[in-house]
Chain A
Amino acid sequence: MQKALKKFFPVFVLPTLIAFLISFIIPFLMGLYLSFTEFTTVNDAKWVGFGNYIKAFTANQEFVNALWFTVKFTIVSVITVNIFAFFLALTLTCGIKGTNLFRTVFFMPNLIGGIVLGYIWQLIINGILYRWEVTLTFDPKYGFWGLVALMNWQLIGYMMIIYIAGLQSIPEELKEAAKVDGASGSRLLWNVTLPSVMPSVTICFFLTMANGFKLFDQNLALTNGAPSKRTAMLALDIYNTFYGKNDWEGVGQAKAVIFFIIVGFIAFVQLKATRRREVEA
């Protein structure tokens, strides 16, 4: 068996490995290299060392602003999305009538593309703000809460499905035993249900956070950074840096590398932290 594995290793793994190399590893390394250079197109580059990284932070405040905006946005949306999704999942596992219909309806927003969603929400929000004769661009706060609403609307359904799967895998005996021991409803939720769905929580936190950090098309379609780039998130800022200014392509690339490191680090820490709290049911 061991021998056969060794023998067939290249047959089964090589195709995927090559695909992974071409579409991921090589572009990634190229991007890393390009972040240290000045270039207009990707095949002629001039080495400039850490210049781009310094420029990213010192030339203007846009990157730092985008970073803070993204952090704030991610914190708020991770909390709201998960709370709403969890309680929706709880409600829809109680066995009320039309559960399947509700699940489908809540899940549907997830199937719509980000750009379309962005424009739809722009219309909705501008339609409401019309009453006061202003638009989304009036204040960065409007854009922020608009994005949060959009994100919630899109992701709650998806997270809800994951929570439902987690909730359904809790053995009935466990809950019954707790009830026999006299546990109240809130106690049951806190000490039995929640620890049992910890794997789902891990996944959902990870997904919402990664999505929040990487949000791009919704941001582009909803506000495109207006007013004055104050609602631009990291991905949008990187995109604008790369294409907005001549000779700033390298800086955009440097920002992208920093972005990767931040997202990778946070995701790693978070994964570790929630993993520890998981319990085997």
Chain B
Amino acid sequence: MKKILVILLAVIIVTSLTSCVFVPLDSNQQTLNGSNDSANQPVPSAVSEKAMEIYFLNFKPEIAEVYQRIATDYESETGVKVNVVTAASGTYETTLKSEIAKAEAPTIFQINGPVGYQAWEEYCADISGTKLYEYLSDKSLAVSKGSGVYGIPYVVEGYGIIYNNAILQKYFSLADKAVSISSADEIQSFTDLKAVVEDMTGKKEQLGIEGVFASTSLNQGEQWRWQTHLANLPLYYEFKDNQDFDNTVLAGLDAKEIQFKYGAQFRNIFDLYTNNSSTAKGLLGGKSVNDSMAEFALGKVAMVQNGNWAWSQIASVEGNIVKSEDIRFMPIYTGVVGEETQGLCIGTENYLSINCKVSQEKQNASIAFLEWLFSSEKGKAYVTNDLGFIAPYTTFKENEKPADPLAREVLAWMERDGTVSVPWTFAAFPSEDFKNYFGDVLLEYVQGTKTWDDVAQIVIDSWKSEKGS
């Protein structure tokens, strides 16, 4: 009996040991076979194509399910398996760091612009020779270094102040309004905006709202609308004043220090948001972006700062009363001289990169997948209708632009005469931590535990220290 037990145990150990050893052996064999295949046959054989699997690490959780459908379709069409993994919101860098160290590393991943490229430089393949790059309508949008191209944007997005025109119409039709203008289109500067907003706050019972602006969400991880998007404006103007560069992102990347010259303008709009909000200042630390969007969707507030991606969020709120024809965009006016011509903030922080550390075959298959997605009829239909991207490629015709109201507003603002879109200068912000320090001090400012001077000082200091590190 004992002997049998011993033998049994020994067998278990041996099998578990050998199975450990066998795995690398197996994969070695496979790569050996693979290279033999490609050496013997000029055209990749059906066998190796079947074994081909690419790995796409997706950034946007809200559309993860669409990517799964695309992957299934693509596999049935070409036989190439696309493994789509989605990182949970706010954890992309974390996920990428651990995934890329694995043997089956992502073949397609995403960087957030020039700063992201610095971190992932060693993993980004040069994709300047691909058709995907050729499709790009504005080549300057790509992340490039020297003659190489390392990241290609796949979506253009815009943000500004989203407003509910129904509520604004109601306000403008009031007999005792304090302003002379009579439509939201006439708001063309911070002075106009402030006058309208403050008068609206005074009449909020009449208008049936709880506040003009939705909550300024300052919960941890929910601060990006302020420390990234709103912060874009003062720093855009500051870098625009730098005559050495004609591109504010490049000027920002070059800047070792900043003066936060337009900090007062940032304060203008930020104070306007919090003073005329639906939520008391002390409670903003517990609010999330979802809360703000829900307030807007339920008609409790008239305005909210966000981008065109928020449409799906607004539309999916239960009890949503905002009609799609009432939802409009207006630029974020801060009180800078000459801002009458300022448009929405338009740009992207979603760039696709190909992992140069995986086999050449896989790199090619990954590029082929992206080219299929952004140029084939089927792929384009997915992009326009299901993913809802404003794709910056020449392959998309006029009637293939997304139909949601905010995306259409972004396109309209881009084409509007006499306005200049503000590029996403925050691509030049030194690090995530810079933004977090900024957001944290904004929270303390709102709570009254820090003064505005502290805010300005921390912004300046942390830019410097984060640039240095």
Q: Which residues of A contact B52 (CB under 8 A)?
A: none
CB of B211 closer than 8 Å to a CB of A:
no
The contact string, 1 if C-beta is below 8 Å from chain B, for chain A 235-262, is 0000000011111110000000000000
A280 to B469, CA, bound (A): 57
8 Å CB interface, B261-284 against A: 280-284
The complex places the Cα of A42 from the Cα of B103 at a distance, in Å, of: 12
Q: Cβ of B400 < 8 Å from any Cβ of A?
A: no
Q: Contact flags (1/0) for B220-242 with A, using CB distance below 8 Å?
A: 11000000000000000000000
Distance (Å) between the CB of B442 and the closest chain A CB?
10
In the assembled complex, the CB of B454 is this many whole angstroms from the nearest CB of chain A, namely 10
Chain B residues with CB under 8 Å of A246's CB are 115, 118-119, 431
Q: Taking the nearest CB of chain A, how far is it from the CB of B468, in angstroms? A: 9
CB pair A229–B119 under 8 Å, yes or no, is no
Instruction: Give every chain B residue within 8 A of A47 (Cβ-Cβ).
Output: none
Interface-facing stretch out of A100-108, A163-171, A220-228 = A220-228
Q: Is the CB of A11 within 8 A of B13?
A: yes
Let me know if B469 and A59 touch, CB within 8 A: yes
Instruction: Report whether B283 and A134 are in contact in the complex, using a CB–CB cutoff of 8 Å.
Output: yes
Check: A184 CB closer than 8 A to any chain B CB: no
B73 adjacent to chain A (CB < 8 Å): no
A181 within 8 A of B: no
Contacts of B284 in A (CB 8 A): 135
* Docked pose: A262 CA to B175 CA in angstroms: 70
Q: Decide if B285 touches A226 in the complex (CB within 8 Å).
A: yes
Contact check, A247 vs B433: say whether CB atoms are below 8 A apart.
no
Identify the closest chain B residue to A59 (Cβ): B469
On whether the beta carbons of B449 and A227 are closer than 8 Å, the reply is yes
B342 within 8 A of A: no
B-contacting 9-mer, from A89-97, A136-144, A172-180, A197-205: A136-144
Taken together as a complex, chains A and B put the C-alpha atoms of A59 and B443 apart, in Å, by 24
Partner of B97, one of A15, A40, A132: A40
Cross-chain contact B469 with A228 (CB below 8 angstroms): no
Residue of A nearest to B118 (CB): A246
- Nearest A-chain residue to B96, judged by Cβ: A41
| Interface presence of B377 (CB below 8 A) | no
Interface string of B15-54 (1 = CB under 8 A from A): 0110000000000000000000000000000000000000
Determine the distance from Cα of A248 to Cα of B119 in the docked complex, in whole angstroms.
11
Please determine whether B101 and A43 come into contact, CB atoms closer than 8 angstroms. Answer: yes
Chain B residue at smallest Cβ distance from A10: B13
CB < 8 Å A-B pair total: 96
A245 touches B433 (CB 8 A): yes
Are B432 and A134 in contact, CB atoms less than 8 angstroms apart? no
Q: How far is the CB of B44 from chain A (nearest CB, A)?
A: 29
Do A132 and B282 touch across chains, with their CB atoms under 8 A apart? yes
Point out the residues of chain A lying under 8 angstroms from B119, CB to CB.
40, 246-247
Q: Does B122 contact A (CB under 8 A)?
A: yes
What range describes how many residues of B lie at the interface?
35 or more
Q: CB of A68 within 8 A of chain B?
A: no
Residues in chain B near residue A8, CB distance under 8 A: 6
- B286 near A41: Cβ-Cβ < 8 Å: no
Decide: A245 near B441, CB < 8 A? Known: A41-B97, A133-B282: no
Q: Say whether B440 faces chain A, with CB atoms less than 8 Å apart.
A: yes
Residues of B within 8 A of A228 (CB): 437, 440-441, 443-444
Q: Whole-angstrom distance between the alpha carbons of A123 and B282 in the complex? A: 15
CB-based contact A227/B440 at 8 Å:
yes
Contact of A133 among B283, B432, B444 (CB under 8 A): B283
For A, the interface residue count at a CB cutoff of 8 angstroms equals: 39
Contact of B220 among A59, A139, A226, A244 (CB under 8 A): A226
In Å, the complex CA distance between A134 and B218 comes to 13
Known pairs A15-B13, A135-B286, A246-B119; A227 contacts B444 (CB<8 A): yes
Q: Which residues in window 390-405 of B have CB below 8 A to A?
A: none
| Contact A134-B469, Cβ < 8 Å, known A15-B16, A225-B220, A226-B440 | no
Contact partners of A42 in chain B: CB under 8 A: 101
Interface centre among A8, A130, A138 (most CB of B within 10 A): A138
At the interface, yes or no: B375 with Cβ under 8 Å from chain A?
no
Chain B: minimal CB distance from A260 (Å): 21
Scan residues 33-78 of chain A and give those whose CB is less than 8 A from a CB of chain B.
40-44, 55, 59-60
Say yes or no: A11-B282 contact (C-beta < 8 A), given A41-B97, A244-B433, A246-B431. Answer: no
Question: Considering the complex, which residues of chain A in the window 128-156 have a beta carbon less than 8 Å from any beta carbon of chain B?
Answer: 130, 132-139
Determine if A227 and B443 form an interchain contact, defined as CB atoms under 8 angstroms apart: yes
B285 and A137 within 8 A (CB): yes
A126: CB under 8 A from chain B? yes
Provide the residues of chain B in CB contact with A135, threshold 8 Å: 282-286
Q: Quick check: is B100 within 8 A (CB to CB) of the other chain?
A: yes
Residue of A nearest to B465 (CB): A60
Contact with A along B416-443 (1 / 0, CB 8 A): 0000000000000001110011001101
Expressed in whole angstroms, the Cα–Cα distance for A41 and B109 within the complex equals: 15
Q: Give B454-469 as 1s and 0s: 1 = Cβ < 8 Å from A's Cβ atoms.
A: 0000000000011001
Contact B93 A243 (CB under 8 A): yes
- Cβ of A224 and Cβ of B94 under 8 Å apart? no
Residue of chain A at shortest CB distance from B120: A40
A43-B101, A137-B285, A243-B97 as given contacts; A11 in contact with B122, CB under 8 Å: no
Question: Does the CB pair A244–B432 fall under 8 Å?
Answer: yes
CB distance from B22 to the nearest CB of A (A): 15
Contacts of A122 in B (CB 8 A): 286
A32 within 8 A of B: no
- The reply to whether the CB of B368 lies closer than 8 angstroms to some CB of chain A is no
User: Bound state CA distance, A31 and B417, in angstroms?
Assistant: 57
State A243–B97 Cα separation when bound (angstroms): 9
Identify B469's interface contact among A14, A40, A126, A247, CB under 8 A.
A247
Q: Which residues of B contact A138 (CB under 8 A)?
A: 282, 285, 447, 449
Chain A stretch 109-130: residues in CB contact (< 8 A) with chain B: 122, 126, 130
Question: Which are the 5 A-B pairs with shortest beta-carbon distances?
Answer: A137-B285, A224-B220, A134-B282, A228-B440, A41-B101
Offer 30 A-B interface pairs, CB within 8 angstroms, sorted by A.
Answer: A11-B6, A15-B13, A15-B16, A40-B120, A42-B101, A43-B101, A55-B469, A59-B465, A122-B286, A130-B283, A133-B280, A133-B282, A134-B447, A135-B283, A137-B220, A137-B447, A138-B447, A224-B220, A227-B285, A227-B444, A227-B449, A228-B437, A229-B440, A243-B97, A244-B431, A244-B432, A245-B432, A245-B433, A245-B466, A246-B115
A40-B119, A132-B282 given; name 10 further pairs at CB < 8 Å. Answer: A40-B97, A41-B98, A134-B283, A135-B283, A137-B443, A138-B447, A227-B440, A227-B443, A228-B441, A245-B469
Residues of A within 8 A of B (CB): 8, 11-12, 14-15, 18, 40-44, 55, 59-60, 122, 126, 130, 132-139, 223-229, 243-249
